[in-house]
Amino acid sequence: MVVTGLGAVTPLGTGVEKTWNAICAGQSGIARITRFDPAGYDAQIAGEVKDFDPAQFIEKKEIKKMDAFIHYAVGAAQMAVDDAGYKIAPEEATRVGVYIGSGIGGLGSIEYYHKILQEKGPGRVSPFFIPMTIINLASGQVAIRMGAKGPNSCAVTACATGNHCIGDAFRLIQRDEADVMVAGGTEAAITPLGVAGFASAKALSFRNDEPTRASRPFDRDRDGFVLGEGAGVLVLEELDHARRRGARIYAEVIGYAMNSDAYHITAPPEEGEGAVRCMELALKDAGVAKDQVGYINAHGTSTMADAIETKAIKQVFGEQAYRIPVSSTKSMTGHLLGAAGGIEAIFSILAIHHGLLPPTINLEHPDPACDLDYVPNQVRSASPSVALSNSFGFGGVNACVLFRRMDA
């Protein structure tokens, strides 16, 4: 199973190249919210997508029939397929599938049309309201546009959504139910209700006066995550299929695991037991030794859970944990919720493809409980052959995916 195409819409820019260059430069995509007036909100900062034009990917008359989370998914998927140099032939359409999920879906449209309903009555609610808000329409719209008639589904597992979609797509190809899968996550929850809800849960950073320094995973002074938005989509392909068409290969997908903490609706258990088991199951699935892992893209949200993930990594890798570079790219993008796994899979793949490890920026005063090598503040040259991408979500869901450099 190999990755042949990548597509990204992020707070750092539209397109993989623009986003990756910003990541390697240690740039932050966090700023004061402009989508609505955040005055009066405890959290007034976010990682907004700033340069995405849906008209580049979607017909003008169709744009208004979709929520922004679908816009981002369609854009990222099209960029990924173009990057893969792949166009679906009619005779193989039933062997090509789409698996793109979201943690929240069309929250912006739900808020907007609830207001329309209250102010103008039920007759003014758009007939496209339901298909513009339900989560599986991200996959649905992508499949319709591409003519992909194979498996079509989505995971909805909070912040683990992107990894679950990639891993489940991986399994579909393994089971010979598809040759190609377009997979990842998308999110557009920077809305008045979305920000208010996460802020009320005391999950967000309130460092409103220093937006670029607000997301600071593993730092002693972290005070919550910063809400982000966007999409990350991969083209996964069976190896022989990719070779027959002469595709460029970024990396191999070698392992996947999912499980549950069965502990709490938002918090992980203090010993990180579920994360430990999930990483170990992914390593077992991949059939690789622990000392082969050369980079970990951590879930690293800039919350107190960073210490728990650190503890879990040390339980899995023992003394080897201190020799594995670990970074949280959420320090630059914010937390993309259901899209996080998709975009962080891309960063993990590019790390092993280019031999560059993304930094964890804003790591100025490391938490004593967070004592691993977090690639602080500057990109690092390295040659990892295997990368692990972690995603953990509300409801106690965990998902880990492993990638390997092809020449390894």
**Contacts with 176 (C-beta within 8 Å, 6 or more apart), sequence order:** none
Other beta carbons less than 10 A from residue 140's beta carbon? 19
CA–CA distance, 177 with 99 (Å, rounded to integer): 13
CA–CA distance, 62 with 327 (Å, rounded to integer): 39
Other beta carbons less than 10 A from residue 197's beta carbon? 15
CA–CA distance, 234 with 3 (Å, rounded to integer): 7
Task: Answer yes or no: are the C-beta atoms of 345 and 402 closer than 8 Å.
Answer: no
For residue 144, give both structure tokens: 């319709």
**Contacts with 60 (C-beta within 8 Å, 6 or more apart), sequence order:** none
Other beta carbons less than 10 A from residue 352's beta carbon? 25
Active site amino acids: 159
CA–CA distance, 310 with 116 (Å, rounded to integer): 46
Residue tagged 């709490």 (tokens): 264
